[in-house]
Structure formats: structure tokens, C-alpha cells
Structure 1
Amino acid sequence: MASAVAFVGHTYQVRTFGVEEEFLIVDPCNGSPLPLAADLLRLQDPFNQAVDRSTHPMLAVELHQEQLEVITHPHSSLSGLAAEIRAGRAFADSLARKAGARITALATSPLAGTPHATSNDRYDALLEKYALTAREQLTCGCHVHVSVGSDEEGVAVLDRIRSWLPPLIALSSNSPFWNGTDSGYASYRTQAWNRWSTAGPTDVFGTAQAYHKLVADLSGTGVVINPDFDARLSARHPTVEIRVSDVCLDPRDTVLIAALVRALVETASREWKAGQAPDMVPAIILRQGAW
């Protein structure tokens, strides 16, 4: 979906965009992660009955109970997105305070701990299939969704933004620690995330048909439940989803990342419509940019 904006007699279609931010739930005294996500969702139930959920930020569980996801609605303006990001963080933290905890925007925990898995059909399947990789995956990212008009446009965008994703990792880096140790990386979340079987950059797809065939072939292996590409077509929304960024400490940085992603999508779409071919750099070369 896009909205029209007029400038000096010209009307432009502005792509809508939104973000999903994942946060750690921590002890306010020592910063250790706390498995309270289910409790926080129960605390929000009475609140949901009293507000317009079509405009209020949404909360969701993640793979582990030490995490909470805050999801914005689609926006056309940076100011609208920024306001909802701030509201979502404040709301999540207010619920955490009621449970004796706090929400913190860290992509990995500075302290060692044992994550507690969320139990539902999806996460139970992940834990059974991926074992230690899933059990240790206490990481918090920031996913940006940007509207596209079709799967063909979406895949054309994915093919043309690949080289720009490593800089987004660098700009958002917020995870130097892993299990209580200085990892030596600015974004160790990226290293931990790349343990998933399909995580990382992709080669050029060329067409939506080729994209969907690859996804189907991966599913057919019996290994992949959902592709964890750095950027992919959303299975639920008419968007491309860019998934490389750490959750940002400062909400203004989240807005910056989202703005850059939307600009990349718009630029890539224009290149596609103009017949400009994508850069054919192999995925294995692009992967080096995350190191």
C-alpha cells in the first residue's frame, strides 16, 4: 500500500512501512534476562479491551520467554512511525514494570543465561528440528517491512538491495556480547543468527517464480520451516521484509534504519522499472560483509 503526497503540483506515491522490534525482558537490578513474556501478554489483555487496537502498537511473543516483540502499524510518514515506535517501547516497558522487570533494547544479552523456550506449535517445531541452535538463539532484531505492488516487484527489489544490507548491519550494530563474553564483534547477533540453515544473503532470483520455487524446494528438503533470508517476501503482508538489523538502543536509530530501507526499496523498484539489471555479486561474497 502507498499513500499520495503532493509537492509543487506533482503527486508522488509514498510507500508505507513499519517495523518489528524485539526486546529483552530483564531484571532491573542486575540486567539478567527474565522469562516473563507470557506474563506481560496477560497484563496487556485488559488494556487491549480499552483501546483502539487498529492504531495501538501490538505485542507478541518470540522464540524465548525472555523476549518481547513490538509491532507497529504501516505508516507513510517518518513522524508517524517514530511516534508509534516510542509508544510501543513505552507500553512494553510499562507492562514489564508491573511484573518487576524492564524492557531493554539490546540485540544480545551482556550476561550469560539459559533461555526459556516459548511453547507453541511453531516454536516447538523449531526447537525439535534445530535443537541447540534454537535453544541458544536469544537474539533481538529489527525487521523493516516496506510495501510493494506485487511479488514480481518485491523480488526485483530483493535482487537489487543485496549489496546494501551489510551496511545496515554496521549502522545498527548493538550486540557486542555473547554469554557474558565480549565477542569481538559489533553485531554478534548476526553471527548467531547465521547459524540458521537459510540465514544470510541470497543470490539473484530473477523472477517471482524462481523465488517461490526455491522456497518450495527448501521446504521440500524437510529441514526448512521458514526461509530466514536476510531479505524476503512477507508471507503475511504485501511487503518486502528486511531482517538484518540489530534492535537499536535509540528509537531514533530505528527510524533511521527504516527510512534507509524504504529508500533502498524505492530506488531498487525504480531501477527495475527502468530495466537496470541487478548487481550479480555472489552471495558468498556478500556474506563477507557481515564479518
Structure 2
Amino acid sequence: MNTSGELLVGVEEEFHIVALESGRLASASPALLEALPGDRYSAELQESTIEAHSAPWTALADLADDLTATRKTLIRTAEEQGLGVLAAGTAPLPGLEEPAVPPLPRFQRMHDLYRRLAGGQLICGAHVHVDVPDRDLAVRVLQRLAPWLPVLLALSAGSPFWREADTGYASYRSVLWQRWPTAGPPGPFESAAEYDAMVAELVARGTILDEGMVYSDVRPSSHLPTLELRICDACPRVDDVVLLAGLFRALVRRECAESGAFRPVRGELLRSATWHAARSGLGGTLVDPATGRPAPAEAVVRDMVAGLRPSLEESGDWETVSGLAESLLGRGDCASRQRAVHARSGSLRRVVAALLAETGGAG
């Protein structure tokens, strides 16, 4: 937290690297990283993906400027090498039978342990970090946050295509992600010590290599004093990433301040709500966290935003976030936009072109 008391927020964005000529994935992150500033970009599990990191900010406008600048640098560097970068949960044209692994010991160990699961990890997400320096508080509020996270997934949903086919899902990335042994809704914890003991047990069993492999939908960060949102697809539009950041910060602010009784939602029902969001995105119904029943997606989103108004006004984010939410509802989620391009053109290459344009700020 900064000296003003406002919760800092930052974002990690994962991007697919594609060959501009074909639109297909390219194993090129080592060459890109050599040409990029080392403090803002890093390798991912496959050489066809790359991650960019924002600084922490109090103002969403500053976060938007930061994300835009890091994208411009990445895109310019990629284009110099005949490459493009696109932000989406999955790439419409994969083109890699055996993805290359970055020459980093941790990633090599992950591929050795998880085999095809790691080799098929051709997906990208957007991760939002919000300052919660009290780690005991951070782990206690995980389950308070959990029922709302499927709505954030629906807002980000942008991975309808996988291996050149329409999956029928708005976020097939989240379906693929659930294969990991630690993915999904967070469990109940009363303290950081209890959480750390759980992580240590998973490491001792050989299920994961380290704390960074706890892949729950929201978690205390393994390397920062933050709560980290991990459920969302990567988003081609910076505005949508800023919307997710603003909503998540408001949720964290509200739930950290809440001291009343809370009845946790069963894990099976949380998984059901996540599946529902992955299946439909904003194009159908979502499980309303307030009632536990399906309701039109637009109504669920508007009700969530309205319920967060006190937290959003406290941080000066109400007008920005409510406006961005209405804009996204008006244009539809990224999955529906991709399908519309494909329906008009019959070409996944055109879908890739549209994603490259949106990631670069056009469209």
C-alpha cells in the first residue's frame, strides 16, 4: 500500500507470439527478450509466449498508460523480427506440434514432470495484483472473493478457438487450465501459516515444484505482498484489462473491510459457476453470486458493478469502471467478436489479424 492508503494495482499480461506472414505461433521469445528491457518482460512456459509486467499504480489512468507503453515496445520489437504479438486466451492458429521450452531450469523441470500437460500449455492470461500487505488477511479473504471471480472470467472471455476449431466455449483457455492439479477455486484458510503448510505439503508430495505453482483462481502472490487474480483470459484491448483491474481492486477493498459472518460457497458450486462463465462468456447467462442462480450475463455484470460502487467511489474509479463495463457489454466479449470475424470471412487468419489489430490499439 502506498502512503496515501490507496491500494496499488498492477498487471502481468501474457502474449502469444505469431509469425506475421502466416499468423501461426512462433517459438521466438528468446530472441525477443534479448532485444527488450529486462525489467518489464520475461519468459513463459513456452517460447511462443512472453509476459509483460506493469508497475504498480494507484490511478487506473496511469495503469492504462503503462500497459499501452509496454505493448507498444513489445509490438515494435516483434515487428522488427517479422513477428506479431496478440493477447487472447488461445491463439486461433497454433502451428506448433512440439513447442520449444525456454532454456530455464524451472521450465525444463516442469516439462519433465508434467509432460504433455506442460507441452500443451499454449494459453495466455491476464493477472491482476492488488496490494494486501497483511498476508493473514490476504488468505482469509480468498473465499469471500471466490464467488465473484467467474464474472471476471466472463468479462475477459476470448478463447473460442483451439487447434483451428471452434470449441463451443467462450473461454476454452480456462477449461484447459483446469487440468493442472492446483487450479480452480481457492480453499478456506484462517492464516498465512495454514496456507504455507498446505503449499509445503504439496511440494513434499511432489505435486508441485514450488509456491509459484499454486494456480488457484486467486492467491496470495508467491513473490509480492499482493492478492493475485489468475482466472482471466488475456485481453486484446487495454480498456478491458483496466476494467478487470478496477473491479478486482474494488472487490479486494470491499472484502478486506468486511468483518461480518460469511458462509463459504462449496467448491463444487464455484467450479460450476466457473464452467458456466467459460461456456457462455457474456453471451448467455452467468451464475449470479448474490443468488446462486443463473441470470442474464449483462444483468449480473451491472449488479456487480453497482454493488461495488462504494468501493469504486472511494478510489475514484466509479466513472471509469462503470463506463468501461458498459462499453464492453455494448461490443460483446472477445470470443463473440472473434466468432463474428470468422463468420464474415470464413478465415481464422482474419481472426488473427483482428486480434493483432486490437492488441496494438486499433479496432
TM-score by structure 1 length?
0.90
Deviation readout 1:26-52 (Å, 9 max, x if unpaired)? 12232101111000111125xx6xxxx
Find the counterpart in structure 1 of residue 322 from structure 2: none
Deviation readout 1:162-201 (Å, 9 max, x if unpaired)? 1011111111001111111111110000011111111010
Give the Cα–Cα distance (whole angstroms) in 2 for the partners of residues 158 and 117 of structure 1: 32
Find the counterpart in structure 2 of residue 246 from structure 1: 233
1:71 matches 2:53 = yes
1:98 to 63, 67, 80: 80
Judge conservation of contact 1:26–1:102 (CA < 8 Å) in 2: yes
Alpha-carbon offset, residue 242 of structure 1: 0.8
**Secondary structure, counterpart of 2:82 in structure 1:** coil
Judge conservation of contact 1:129–1:223 (CA < 8 Å) in 2: no
Identity of aligned residues (%): 37
> Unaligned regions of 5+ residues in structure 1, if any?
5-12
Find the counterpart in structure 1 of residue 255 from structure 2: 268
Find the counterpart in structure 2 of residue 84 from structure 1: 66
Find the counterpart in structure 1 of residue 220 from structure 2: 233
Judge conservation of contact 1:159–1:278 (CA < 8 Å) in 2: no
1:43 matches 2:35 = yes
Find the counterpart in structure 1 of residue 119 from structure 2: 135
Alpha-carbon offset, residue 235 of structure 1: 1.6
Alpha-carbon offset, residue 283 of structure 1: 1.3
Find the counterpart in structure 1 of residue 107 from structure 2: 123
Deviation readout 1:12-31 (Å, 9 max, x if unpaired)? x2100100000011122321
Give the Cα–Cα distance (whole angstroms) in 1 for the partners of residues 227 and 61 of structure 2: 21
Q: CA RMSD in A?
A: 1.3
Find the counterpart in structure 2 of residue 2 from structure 1: 2
1:200 matches 2:184 = yes
Give the Cα–Cα distance (whole angstroms) in 2 for the partners of residues 223 and 142 of structure 1: 24
Name the structure with the higher helix share.
2
Q: Which amino acid aligns with 1:254?
A: V
Is the alpha carbon distance of 1:3 and 1:257 closer, same or farther for their aligned partners in structure 2, counting shifts above 3 Å?
farther
Find the counterpart in structure 1 of residue 22 from structure 2: 30
Matches for 1:134-153 after TM superposition, within 5 Å: 134-153=118-137
How many equivalent residue pairs? 270
**Secondary structure, counterpart of 2:88 in structure 1:** coil
**Secondary structure, counterpart of 1:262 in structure 2:** helix
Deviation readout 1:118-138 (Å, 9 max, x if unpaired)? 221110111011100000001
Find the counterpart in structure 2 of residue 7 from structure 1: none
Name the structure with the higher strand share.
1
Give the Cα–Cα distance (whole angstroms) in 1 for the partners of residues 192 and 241 of structure 2: 29
Q: Which runs of 4+ in 1 moved over 6 A?
A: none
Judge conservation of contact 1:168–1:257 (CA < 8 Å) in 2: yes
Q: Which amino acid aligns with 1:134?
A: A
Find the counterpart in structure 2 of residue 174 from structure 1: 158
Q: Which amino acid aligns with 1:102?
A: G
Give the Cα–Cα distance (whole angstroms) in 1 for the partners of residues 2 and 260 of structure 2: 23
Alpha-carbon offset, residue 3 of structure 1: 4.1
Alpha-carbon offset, residue 278 of structure 1: 3.3
Judge conservation of contact 2:137–2:191 (CA < 8 Å) in 1: no
Matches for 1:105-120 after TM superposition, within 5 Å: 105-114=87-96, 115-120=99-104
Q: Which amino acid aligns with 1:248?
A: C
Find the counterpart in structure 1 of residue 169 from structure 2: 185
Find the counterpart in structure 2 of residue 283 from structure 1: 267
Judge conservation of contact 2:186–2:219 (CA < 8 Å) in 1: no
